[in-house]
Structure 1
Amino acid sequence: MIWAPYSPCAVGCLTGDEERVPLATTVFRLIALCVAVLAVIPLAAVYPLLGAAERTAVARGWCRSLLRALDVRMIVDSPDEAPAGALVVSNHISWLDILAVGSIRPGRMVAKSDLRRWPLIGSLAARGGTIFVDRNRLSTLPGTVADVRAALLAGARVVAWPEGTTRCGVETGRFYPAVFQAAIDAGAPVEPVTVGYSAAGRPTTVTAFLGDDPLTASVWRIARARGVAVAVRCHPVLPPGRNRRMLAAAAASISVLAPRVDRLVGVHSGQVVNSHPA
């Protein structure tokens, strides 16, 4: 198994033809984003001491506040809430995926170890119970799977992106099976989720976070874009079964084959959670 899959997508996938808001609006959004990030610092100190319900409310509220700061509208198509102790798996396009999925399915995230080094965000993620995975060290994989299994057995929801890398949303990839072994070992259900993006009513790659693209450049593009919307579709849960490769393939067939549909119709259906016209 290739633990650090190579994405066929690169910065060249970014079309750059999106409609833009005035510079003053962009600056206002960036200020609002900084305020939203800084506002959580006092909560981070006491977050580990909160009860499960309080932690869920804080995580959901913070994710939504960051999306609001950037004027990202969110449309949700979701059945009943996934049961406690479920493994939530999603296709991966952008760092915004974390906020979008976290706003409706808050839980312990599985994220690459690079995130730990991001200024401020890394420390906040660690305090929030993020399970970090080092894709450059295959020897750490069993430990990561064990951590996910323990979290699921403890009744925590765990959110993962098994493609192992981001893609532009046009290209899709298969799900790598390692994290699904944790669900099998814990007897945990798996909920596939699809995330897709549009801008000004059209499919877009402006939100994609690809290759060596700096985070600051990605944030700037999103802040400049007009009418960005993220559609999140939660699919019915899958039983864990006994074969991780079959489980991964089944989840991928549901999650990664749907983004084109979600990007085209998502802005016209579902429940609008954040709505802030640019």
Structure 2
Amino acid sequence: MSKAVAAQTAHISLIGYLLIALRLPLMLALLLICVPLHYLWRMLGLDRTWPRVFLTGVGFVIGLRIRRQGKRVPGALLLANHVSWMDILALSQAANSAYVAHDGLARFGFLKWLCEMNETVFVARHRRAEVSKQAVQIRAALDHGGTLTLFPEGTTADGTVLLPFKSSLLGALEPLPEGASVQPVLLDYADAPQIAWVGEEPGLDNFKRILARLKPLRIDVHFFQPLEGEELTNRKTMTAAARGQIERALLSSRRNLS
């Protein structure tokens, strides 16, 4: 954790605590409204609507302000850089996306429950026996026209650089399902180093820092052209091509800010 972030975590102002006290009840109210409606929609066989409403609402409550660039391809697998837990809020609003997540999240009952409502596909990266089952789940989600997001870095970075993309995370998509699209996405936060969840910062501390923030959280969500041709040959070519597009755009954005 950087010294600047550590200082922010250690000292939350009175206004910050007032914002936390205001935002937490609003988030709880959203949960209490959306959960019953979600289960009602499921009983009626309707689409996954209320998880997106909840996540979009939480983003609005904490001050997330999104600007979309490029055209989203419905039903694509999105490969995005990973900066914060707020990435989930941003892509839920901008792309109505579900997610491919590490099965470690499933150990936390409340988080697992929230993730499952949004049709998260949990993957066990180190259990080879589960690969075929996970592939079926991912393919089924894509076959039904759903949008899935995978974060190939496997962890969060500070938003100014990209970590290596792990092609192994795309193992369940090799070969790519017929007709499936793979679309790179850049999540570009205006104040990335100040809001990123990196290093040894506990998740709860990061959550409190974000809720205590008065300044809006501005993010540009860049949708690039889907991969095509030889870029789709295998998981290594897909991750290399996606990372190249995202990195070029990220470097260009950082130069423009400097």
Which category describes the TM-score, using the shorter chain as reference length?
A: 0.7 to 0.9
Q: 2:89 aligns with which of 99, 116, 124?
A: 99
Structure 2 unpaired stretches of 5+: none
**Who is 2:239 aligned against?**
248
Q: Is the 8 A contact 1:44 1:128 kept in 2?
A: no
**Who is 1:226 aligned against?**
214
Residues 59-83 of structure 1, C-alpha deviations (whole Å, 9 max, x = no match): 432221011111222222132x313
Q: 2:23 aligns with which of 15, 24, 29?
A: 29
Q: Distance in 2 between the 1:183 and 1:158 partners?
A: 16
Q: 2:227 aligns with which of 238, 241, 253?
A: 238
Q: Is the 8 A contact 2:152 2:169 kept in 1?
A: yes
Q: 1:236 to 1:26 in 2, by over 3 A?
A: same
Shift of 1:257: 4.1
**Who is 1:276 aligned against?**
none
**Who is 1:208 aligned against?**
196
Shift of 1:186: 0.3
Q: Distance in 2 between the 1:183 and 1:59 partners?
A: 29
**Who is 1:63 aligned against?**
55
**Who is 2:160 aligned against?**
170
Q: Which deviates more, 151-160 or 39-48? A: 39-48
Q: Is the 8 A contact 2:84 2:196 kept in 1?
A: yes
Residue 64 of structure 2 corresponds to residue 76 of structure 1: no
- Aligned residue identity for 2:198: L
**Who is 1:150 aligned against?**
140
Q: Is the 8 A contact 1:197 1:231 kept in 2?
A: yes
Shift of 1:232: 1.1
Q: 1:242 to 1:21 in 2, by over 3 A?
A: farther
**Who is 1:132 aligned against?**
122
Q: Is the 8 A contact 2:162 2:247 kept in 1?
A: yes
Identity over aligned residues, as a percent? 25
**Who is 1:6 aligned against?**
none
Tell me the TM-score normalised to structure 2 length: 0.82
Q: Is the 8 A contact 2:78 2:184 kept in 1?
A: yes
Q: Is the 8 A contact 1:13 1:168 kept in 2?
A: no
Aligned length: 248
Q: 1:170 to 1:65 in 2, by over 3 A?
A: same
**Who is 2:32 aligned against?**
38
- Aligned residue identity for 1:132: F
Shift of 1:179: 4.5
Q: Distance in 1 between the 2:54 and 2:254 partners?
A: 24
Tell me the TM-score normalised to structure 1 length: 0.77
Q: 1:62 to 1:87 in 2, by over 3 A?
A: same
Which has more helix, going by share of residues?
Answer: 2
Q: Distance in 1 between the 2:255 and 2:41 partners?
A: 38
- Aligned residue identity for 2:203: L
SS at match of 1:205: helix
